[in-house]
């Protein structure tokens, strides 16, 4: 576990270990939950489909495409355990492939319509 106080900045880094220098990382989704077993019922989206959901989220510059750095302000779920678990989904893309998910950025996915 990593201990951090409420409202203290939390910094994270993800690295891709590959011999291919033309690969890059993109943070698609990052969700927090009070339990490591359920990220759907009681969860909080920091990033979803590449869209920033938490106003304290910041992406930091990186010296390499295969390293992704970001941070946000630490929080605690109300009436829960003092622990917060993160699950982040990253996408690996070919650098300069402008049709890849990495270059699409925030994608607003519409919900399907249901017929009566």
pLDDT, position 38: 82
CA atoms within 13 A on the CB side of 39: 14
pLDDT at 87: 93
Whether residue 57 contacts residue 70, with contact meaning beta carbons closer than 8 Å, is answered with yes
Segments making up each domain of the chain, as ranges: 8-99
Give me the pLDDT at residue 113, please: 52
What top-level class would CATH report for the domain 8-99?
A: mainly beta
Give the C-alpha separation, 23 to 112, whole Å: 33
Per residue in 73-99, pLDDT tens?
A: 998 777 667 888 899 999 999 999 999
Rounded to an integer, what distance in angstroms lies between the CA atom of residue 61 and that of residue 58? 10
Residues of the chain with pLDDT under 70: 79-80, 110-116
Q: What is the pLDDT of residue 43?
A: 87
């Amino acid at each position: 576990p990593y201990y951090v106080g409420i409202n203290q900045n939390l910094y994270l880094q993800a690295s891709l270990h590959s011999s291919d220098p033309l690969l890059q990382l993109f943070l698609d989704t990052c969700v927090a939950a009070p339990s490591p077993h359920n990220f759907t019922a009681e969860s909080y989206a920091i990033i979803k489909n590449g869209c920033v959901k938490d106003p304290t989220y910041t992406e930091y510059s990186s010296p390499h495409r295969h390293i992704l750095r970001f941070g946000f302000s630490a929080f605690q779920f109300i009436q829960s355990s003092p622990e917060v678990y993160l699950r982040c989904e990253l996408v690996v893309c070919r650098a300069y492939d402008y049709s890849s998910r990495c270059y699409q950025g925030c994608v607003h996915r519409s919900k399907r319509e249901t017929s009566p």
